[in-house]
């Protein structure tokens, strides 16, 4: 799944490392405007698909204020506000952190990590898991097995994924947080997110609008998805582990990318270059390389 070189890391004016991958950019009408690598390659979407998972929950009866709905779509930083939000969702069905089946973690902030004990609330997917539990409670579905692929909730999510992507799921495994994880193509992911952002379905509209309204809940202060949604009017963006990122504008222009070696350091530069295809300047997210504490190069896209 090597793909094509999407980014290079320079030091002292020379290329030191490269990152290959796959990228597809869609026009407003859904046609392919630009591609690198093979967008038909089957891949794991990781957390970039959380808005589709959240849509399935809302369709099944989940009702939350926008701030908390954005948290259900989140890969959050584990800050106090994120943990409180997950607690608030669980409290709506009389439960607490002990009902979560995601793994334990500490907040992402280095200082907070040093002074915090691992908890399930701090894990970046706790909002999604809390939303899943509340959805099960609303429907009378068993909570103790909410992560099983054959659970009614997970079946509903799989149907939403296939409907939105226009593809069949080719493999199901387990994501880092413990939830089912689906494999389908990068092009299918782009089409799913495009369908989400242009949809007239009130379910999809509520999910996208919640993320646009509360971008700090989707990721966290200073992090890529939050910064981009704060700075670019109408943009929806969601990243995922192993070098995955998706973004879409209200008119349907969308991109999806996958860095083949999974290294997230290439994602900001490739994201900025993909946005440039839309005529949007986001070069401020590009990152430098350092030597002796000073910039000596950069991480830049190759297109």
pLDDT digits (tens, 9 = 90+) for 140-199: 999 999 999 999 999 999 999 999 999 999 999 999 999 999 999 999 999 999 999 999
Q: How far is CA 258 from CA 190, 191, 254, in A?
A: 11, 15, 14
pLDDT digits (tens, 9 = 90+) for 34-66: 999 999 999 999 999 999 999 999 999 999 999
Residue 285 makes CB contacts below 8 A (sequence gap 6+) with 224, 227, 228, 268, 269, 271, 272
Domain count of the fold of the chain: 1
| Half-sphere exposure in the Cβ direction for 275 (13 Å, CA) | 27
| CATH number for 252 | 3.40.710
pLDDT at 1 over 80: no
- Domain residues for the domain of 251 are 4-301
Q: What pLDDT digit, counting tens, does each position of 69-100 carry?
A: 999 999 999 999 999 999 999 999 999 999 99
Residue recorded with tokens 């950019």: 25
**Token couple for 210:** 């919640």
pLDDT at 285 over 90: no
pLDDT for 204 equals 99
Task: Copy the structure tokens of residue 87.
Answer: 């607690």
Task: Output the pTM of the full model.
Answer: 0.95
pLDDT of residue 283: 86
Quote the mean pLDDT of the chain: 98
Question: Can you give the pLDDT at residue 293?
Answer: 96
Q: Residues 266-279: what's their mean pLDDT? A: 97
65 vs 253: CA distance, rounded Å: 27
């Amino acid at each position: 799944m090597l793909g094509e070189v999407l980014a290079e890391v320079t030091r002292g004016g020379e290329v030191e490392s490269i990152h290959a991958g796959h990228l597809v950019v869609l026009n407003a009408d859904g046609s392919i405007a630009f591609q690198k690598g093979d967008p038909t390659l089957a891949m794991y979407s990781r957390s970039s698909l959380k808005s589709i998972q959240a849509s399935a929950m809302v369709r099944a009866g989940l009702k939350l204020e926008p701030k908390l709905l954005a948290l259900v779509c989140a890969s959050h930083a584990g800050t106090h506000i994120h943990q409180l939000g997950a607690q608030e969702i669980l409290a709506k069905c009389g439960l607490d952190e002990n009902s979560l089946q995601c793994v334990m973690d500490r907040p992402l902030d280095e200082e907070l990590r040093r002074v915090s004990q691992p908890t399930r609330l701090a894990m970046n997917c706790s909002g999604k898991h809390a939303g899943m539990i509340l959805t099960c409670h609303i429907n009378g579905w068993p909570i103790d097995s909410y992560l099983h692929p054959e659970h009614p909730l997970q079946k509903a999510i799989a149907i939403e994924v296939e409907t939105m992507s226009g593809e069949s799921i080719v493999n199901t495994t387990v994501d880092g947080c413990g939830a089912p994880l689906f494999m389908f193509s990068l092009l299918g992911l782009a089409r799913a997110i495009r369908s989400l952002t242009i949809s007239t379905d009130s379910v999809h509209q509520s999910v996208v609008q919640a993320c646009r309204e509360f971008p700090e809940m989707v990721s966290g202060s200073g992090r890529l998805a939050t910064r981009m949604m704060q700075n670019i009017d109408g943009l929806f963006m969601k990243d995922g582990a192993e070098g995955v990122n998706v973004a879409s504008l209200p008119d349907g222009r969308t991109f999806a990318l996958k860095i083949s070696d999974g290294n997230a350091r290439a994602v900001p530069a490739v994201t900025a270059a993909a946005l440039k295809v839309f005529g949007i300047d986001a070069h401020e997210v590009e990152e430098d390389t350092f030597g002796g504490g000073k910039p000596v190069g950069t991480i830049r896209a190759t297109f």
